[in-house]
Amino acid sequence: MNSKNSPAHPATQLVLGGRDRDTLGFVNPPLVRGSTVLHDSVADMKARVAARLAGADEPIAYGIYGGPTHQAFYDALNALEGGHRSWALPSGLTACAIALQAFVGSGDHVLVPDSVYGPVRRFCDQTLRRFGVTTTYYDPCSGAEIERLFTPATRMLWLESPGSHTFEMQDVPLLAAIARARGAFSAIDNTWATPLYFQPLKVGVDVSLHAATKYIGGHSDLLMGTVTSNERAWPQLRAAIHEYGLTTSADDCALALRGLRSMGARLVQHEANARALIAWFKQQPEVERVLFPADADDPGHALWKRDMTGACGLFGVLLKPGLGEARLHALVDAVTLFGRGYSWGGYESLLIPSFPERTVTANVYSGRLFRVHAGLEDPRDLVADLERGFAALRRPG
């Protein structure tokens, strides 16, 4: 069955993707480590170089351009996202940095949501700035009024929906259409929705990227980023990737591909566990609100329902004003099943205080927001652990 042109549902594509090539009868593609590729003749060497310079990704002439294991993973991602080409990078942050850098030069301007993943803000404020690129941060909830922030120098509209730590949903089709009308590219950090639950390229975004470190890897044992591009954006993105020599190991691609196979089933359980925990949080008098666009009470719910077909296990919890940082820290320190650690998307539950940065919208979260990753444990055990945490929160002193 051809996974690229297949009418199969996305969950089936997770199983089929990347399996069109010869695998010598095995279910999985071969894990091929390699640098040197041998050529038949000088003519063959010349032909492969010419083909690459003309934009072809295959046949591969050298290991830095990937190998059969990489290609199988890229095929699977392309099929899921409806993309032209995909690439794997050493981390999610590298994917963000290269997707920004590829489209800008000195004198250019980028638009970035105020809810952006923190290290991307640093990349814009420090690295892009040193190269003469200016950044304007915008309210992630902006609609058509974002138009007035575009200048003739705007080359890139950055999107992240929902936003890091604060989970604002963005009107992605609208914003992507505005960027295109203004002659800019758009790129989205699609990590939360995963390629299974949202396909931004299908609604007009040029580049969709993921921290594959999260649900694609799924087991807290992999660092990887991915970019998937439409035809319009690929030449520039590809040039940046090749000029920096960005590549990943075949072993990591095999892990990512293995992660994709079970991602659909894992996500169903992550979302169910998140909903079970959210139901408990909503009953606690100290909780002001839960930040999870898949929840009917969330301000981003209508957009989530319109654009996404599911949710993952990551959400925020905002405590009532007056419950200071010390009480929040007592909660975070008291849990024993939830881990205190960065990242998310693995099989294990995590709970950390959040410190969202804001430069153009009000920061109403200071000192009282925490982020929960619902892992794959039995939710009854997780609730028991939260009860322990909230007992510490309530303890005076």
Ligand X SMILES: *Cc1c(COP(=O)(O)O)cnc(C)c1O
Find the shortest distance in angstroms from Cβ 218 to ligand X.
Answer: 13
CA distance linking residue 154 with residue 391, whole number of Å: 50
Find the shortest distance in angstroms from Cβ 26 to ligand X.
Answer: 29
* Cβ-based nearer residue to ligand X, 97 or 278: 97
The separation between the first and the last C-alpha atoms of the chain, rounded to the nearest angstrom, is 64
Residues 370, 311 contacting (CB under 8 angstroms): no
> By the criterion CB under 6 A, which residues form the site for ligand X?
91-93, 96, 117, 164, 189, 191, 211, 213, 223, 225, 343
Angle at 98 between CA 94 and CA 100, to 5 degrees: 120
Find the shortest distance in angstroms from Cβ 30 to ligand X.
Answer: 26
198, 159, 197: which is closest to 177 by C-alpha?
Answer: 159
* Cβ-based nearer residue to ligand X, 69 or 226: 226
Find the shortest distance in angstroms from Cβ 334 to ligand X.
Answer: 25
Find the shortest distance in angstroms from Cβ 345 to ligand X.
Answer: 8
DSSP code for 320: P
Find the shortest distance in angstroms from Cβ 44 to ligand X.
Answer: 37
* Cβ-based nearer residue to ligand X, 68 or 162: 162
CA distance linking residue 203 with residue 173, whole number of Å: 5
User: Which residues on adjacent β-strands are paired with residue 185?
Assistant: 156
- The tokens describing 210, both together, are 């993921």
Between strands 287-291 and 85-89, the pairing is unpaired
CA distance linking residue 195 with residue 367, whole number of Å: 33
Which residue has its beta carbon closest to ligand X? 92
